[in-house]
Chains A and B, each alone.
Chain A
Amino acid sequence: AQSVTQPDIHITVSEGASLELRCNYSYGATPYLFWYVQSPGQGLQLLLKYFSGDTLVQGIKGFEAEFKRSQSSFNLRKPSVHWSDAAEYFCAVVSRNAGGTSYGKLTFGQGTILTVHP
Chain B
Amino acid sequence: EPEVTQTPSHQVTQMGQEVILRCVPISNHLYFYWYRQILGQKVEFLVSFYNNEISEKSEIFDDQFSVERPDGSNFTLKIRSTKLEDSAMYFCASRERLAVAKNIQYFGAGTRLSVL
Contact = CB atoms under 8 A, between A and B. Distances in A.
Contacts of A92: 43
Chain B interface, >50% SS class: strand
Interface residue range, chain B: 20 to 34
Given A104-B31, A105-B56, A46 B104 contact: yes
A28 interface: no
B65 interface: no
Interface in B76-105: 91, 93, 95, 98, 100-101, 103-105
Contacts of B75: none
A55 interface: no
B105 A104 contact: yes
Interface residue range, chain A: 20 to 34
Nearest to B108: A43
A104 B48 contact: yes
Interface in A7-48: 32, 34, 36, 41-46
Nearest to A42: B109
